[in-house]
């Protein structure tokens, strides 16, 4: 089995878990994940807030903390905020972008 098939298999196996996890998120949290998945450099900028319907910079901060506490994202990479699970990121991009 090549690496793409393995990746697809992991994504398929976890799909229901990812669906349930996303189902429990608010619209603003999904929007924030979309912004992160698209590599937006300034999550609290007026343009990003408008584009992804994130409501306000205070809401962005609150939702970042919530998503980090849920172990979905982290700010330890050079790129800034990023998904912790690369398979979840790929699944999210495929299903929400």
Q: What is the pTM (predicted TM-score) of this model?
A: 0.85
- Find the mean pLDDT for residues 75-84: 85
16-68 confidence digits (pLDDT tens): 899 999 999 999 999 999 999 999 999 999 999 999 999 999 999 999 999 99
| CATH architecture for residues 3-96 | Orthogonal Bundle (1.10)
Tell me, what's the pLDDT at 14?
80
Instruction: Assign 96 to helix, strand or coil.
Output: helix
Tell me, what's the pLDDT at 6?
54
pLDDT top residue among 45 and 79: 45
Helices (H), the chain: 3-23, 27-37, 46-52, 57-69, 86-96
pLDDT top residue among 78 and 7: 78
Contact 14, 87 (CB under 8 A): yes
Tell me, what's the pLDDT at 2?
57
The domain ranges of the chain are: 3-96
């Amino acid at each position: 089995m090549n690496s793409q098939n393995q990746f697809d298999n992991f994504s398929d196996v976890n799909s229901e878990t990812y669906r349930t996890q996303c189902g429990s998120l608010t619209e603003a949290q999904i929007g924030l994940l979309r912004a992160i998945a698209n590599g937006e450099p300034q999550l609290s900028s007026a343009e990003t807030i408008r584009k992804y319907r994130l409501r306000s910079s205070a809401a962005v901060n609150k939702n970042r903390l919530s998503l980090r506490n849920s172990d979905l994202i982290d700010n330890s990479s050079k790129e800034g905020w990023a998904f912790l699970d690369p398979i979840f990121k790929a699944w999210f991009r495929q299903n929400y972008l």
